[in-house]
Chain A
Amino acid sequence: MIKARVTVTLKDGVLDPQGKAIEGALRALSFSGVGEVRQGKVFDIELDTADRARAQADLKDMCERLLANTVIEDYSIAIT
């Protein structure tokens, strides 16, 4: 079995009101030196295969077709 982690983040230049609110809350907790905060999503996915190339291709397809909205989001895939 292959385990993978897919990370989806907002593209540069796309406003992130939730990240902004979190940024403000971190400052409110008196953390100093907090710069921009961007919120994203993490998906841990198990794949019933030993074929890493096939897994990589499937995961890319999953990102393009469902996990990310490529109008506003980028994704990265890490197979462990």
Chain B
Amino acid sequence: MKSAVIQLPGLNRDRDMIAALTKISGKPPLTVWQTETELPDVDLIVIPGGFSYGDYLRCGAIAARMPVMRAVAEKAAQGVLVMGVCNGFQILLEAGLLPGALMRNASLKFVCRHVKLQVANANTAFTRAYSPGQIIRCPVAHHDGNYFADPETLARIEGEGQVVFRYAEGTNPNGSVNDIAGIVNEAGNVLGLMPHPENLIEDAHGGTDGRPLFESVMSLAA
């Protein structure tokens, strides 16, 4: 599997993501700086987590307007798989590649802990290696993960199966509507999620529940 990791000032989970992709696919991902206007041909584009542009204005707002994001939007329109984790999710929402918005956690506190996630849709390019309804463990670390969408949008994404991960067993850490932790776009090739699957891929991490997400994508890339 060929992959690319987008890099922007203030992102800090890019190294974890590069390590995870290298470990799982056996090949280091290409890295692409924010000023690039074209992306290489890859099977997966990842926008990792962090605090791009210091979270100024709104989380992900400034990053979403950088040149590389136009290139990401073009690839997404062509059907290339795109995944945004944490700040990457916020960037995809701000770029209009996913519906809704992420707001300050209802508790107003930064949360850094493990949560339980339910695989709400195991029939996507990103989740096919999980079983439907499977409960997994995953770390979260964020201040703005409180997913919001207007009632009409919410009904649409729920109806279309675009909600892919939900916080389960009372572990919603941020007040997110319908316990939403991750969604895909209508076409199913763009995923955004708050939890960090890249931080739970080998036993030394204390578990491997994040691994099937990458393996799902890999099985498609062949």
Let me know if A45 is at the binding interface, CB within 8 A. no
Which residue of the partner chain A has the closest CB to B109? A17
Let me know if B148 is at the binding interface, CB within 8 A. yes
Interface segment, B23-31, B98-106, B208-216?
A: B98-106
Chain A residues lying within 8 Å of B100, measured Cβ to Cβ, are 71
Min Cβ gap B84→A in Å is 16
Which residue of the partner chain B has the closest CB to A66? B65
A18 to B61, CA, bound (A): 19
**B101–A15 touching, CB < 8 Å:** no
Let me know if A79 is at the binding interface, CB within 8 A. no
A18 to B101, CA, bound (A): 16
Let me know if A72 is at the binding interface, CB within 8 A. yes
**A15–B106 touching, CB < 8 Å:** yes
Let me know if B175 is at the binding interface, CB within 8 A. yes
Which residue of the partner chain A has the closest CB to B64? A66
**A17–B175 touching, CB < 8 Å:** yes
Count A-B contacts at CB 8 Å: 37
**B104–A18 touching, CB < 8 Å:** yes
Which residue of the partner chain A has the closest CB to B174? A17
A interface secondary structure, majority: helix
Let me know if A69 is at the binding interface, CB within 8 A. yes
Interface residues on chain B, size class: 20 to 34
Which residue of the partner chain A has the closest CB to B60? A69
**B104–A69 touching, CB < 8 Å:** no
Interface residues on chain A, size class: 10 to 19
**A72–B103 touching, CB < 8 Å:** yes
Let me know if A21 is at the binding interface, CB within 8 A. yes
Chain B residues lying within 8 Å of A1, measured Cβ to Cβ, are none
Let me know if B155 is at the binding interface, CB within 8 A. no
A21 to B108, CA, bound (A): 8
Let me know if B14 is at the binding interface, CB within 8 A. no
Assuming the contacts A17-B175, A66-B65, asked whether A71 and B149 have C-beta atoms less than 8 A apart, the reply is yes
**A15–B65 touching, CB < 8 Å:** no
**B61–A69 touching, CB < 8 Å:** yes
Sorted from nearest, which 4 A-B pairs have the closest CB atoms? A71-B101, A72-B101, A17-B106, A17-B108
Identify the B interface with A (CB < 8 A).
57-58, 61, 65, 93-94, 99-101, 103-108, 146, 148-150, 175
